[in-house]
Structure formats: C-alpha cells, structure tokens
Chains A and B, each alone.
Chain A
C-alpha cells in the first residue's frame, strides 16, 4: 500500500527566503507525482506534474524534483512571498491504469511580511 509523507507539517519563514518542502513515498512504482496548493477553505490548484521518467519540473519560482529510487520529491520555492502562504500537497499516482492518487497530509506554509 502506497503511503505518502510530507515533512515538515508546518513551516514559517520570513518573506524573501528560499525554502524546500519534502515529500516521500513508500512504493517507487509510481506513474507520476503532482504538487498542489490549497488555500484555506478552497480547492486544489495544480502547481507541477512530474512524470516518472522525469527528474524535475520548473514553473516560475517553483522547482520540483523527483528521485523515484529513493522515494523522494522536493518542492523548492525561491524568494518566498506572503502570497505563497497556503498548504502544499504532494500526490503520487500509481503505475496502473487506475489513475488514482495518494496524497500526503500537506505542509502548511506561512510567509511573514
């Protein structure tokens, strides 16, 4: 059974800092890994999708890496801003045609002005 863990559960940083969020998964036979952002009381916004054959993806100030063999992914946020404050969720999709995703419990990020 796939299990996804995100560390830390919460993180508070001053504006402008670079930061790294961590995601680990127990079964390396994944199809892809997706990072999402969730604002309080809102839905999920997809940030980055990494296919199992890829090592990283970049979008603006965000960079996500994937190391399948060690079961780890990181989300790097450069020059953090107060608007980045949200909960960040990592989800892995298993390597079958079921397509369902297993989510971590998220890291709640607060960026202080």
Chain B
C-alpha cells in the first residue's frame, strides 16, 4: 500500500512566482491536512480538507494561499506571488476518519514533505 505521496519533493521559485504543491493521500483516506514547518521550528497546522470541502483553514494565511481537494485527483496547496518567508517544508497528512464524530481515532499519516525555497 502506498503511503501519502507528495510532489515535488523540492521546489525552487523566485519571488513573485507561483508554487503548487501536490498531495495524494493514502488510498481510501478522505481527509487531508496541510502543515508548514519553518526552519528550526515545529509543524504548524494550515488547513484541513475533505473531498471538495475546506473544513478548517484557520492556520492558513488569508492572502496568497489557497488549498483544494477535488473529487478526483490530489490535494493542491497553491501559493501565489511567493516571498522569501514562504521558504519552508510543507507536509501533507491524511486520515481515514475525522475524530469524534466517527467514534474512531484519527491517526494521521504524513507524507515526505515538499521543501520550498524562494530565491
């Protein structure tokens, strides 16, 4: 079974360009989470999506960042007009269930991350 897949693994962009990060969850998982890890810092939650819906985007910057998880295909995290401060590792996680409502635990499986460098 393939785990969470992210591509590209490394992405270099110049200031002002767009960055598109892709995440394919574990097969059968319908819940996707994006986290950002700045250099020398811990992981910070950005956004939680289910198929075709954004459930919680409280951690995502209001401008330039957007995320989607279409009915078909991978989840996409899009950063427009990148700045040097966007340089970080972006991790995607997936889970089969969502917490309390399902009565089941919510173990998250992480991908290898995309390391974005903005020149």
Contacts and interface: CB of A to CB of B under 8 A. Distances in A.
A75 B111 CA distance: 23
Interface stretch (B12-20, B80-88, B102-110): B102-110
B33 A100 contact: yes
Contacts of B100: 31, 95-97
B95 interface: yes
B42 A105 contact: yes
B37 to A, nearest CB: 9
Contacts of B93: 44, 101
A98 B5 CA distance: 22
Given A34-B107, A100-B48, A43 B91 contact: yes
Nearest to B46: A100
Interface in B71-119: 91, 93, 95, 98-102, 105-113, 115
Contacts of A99: 31, 33, 48, 95, 98-99, 106, 108
B99 A95 contact: yes
A32 B106 contact: yes
Contact of B106 (A44, A93, A105): A93
A89 B42 contact: yes
B107 A100 contact: no
Interface in A10-47: 31-32, 34, 36, 41-46
B63 interface: no
Given A96-B99, A97-B98, A99-B31, A34 B41 contact: no
Q: Is the interface of A mostly helix, strand, loop or mixed?
A: strand
A101 B102 CA distance: 17
A49 interface: yes
Interface string A31-67: 1101010000111111001010000000000000000
B99 A89 contact: no
B99 A97 contact: yes
A96 B91 CA distance: 22
Interface string B44-63: 11001000000110010000
A43 B110 contact: yes
Contacts of B110: 36, 43-46
B111 A43 contact: yes
B99 A34 contact: no
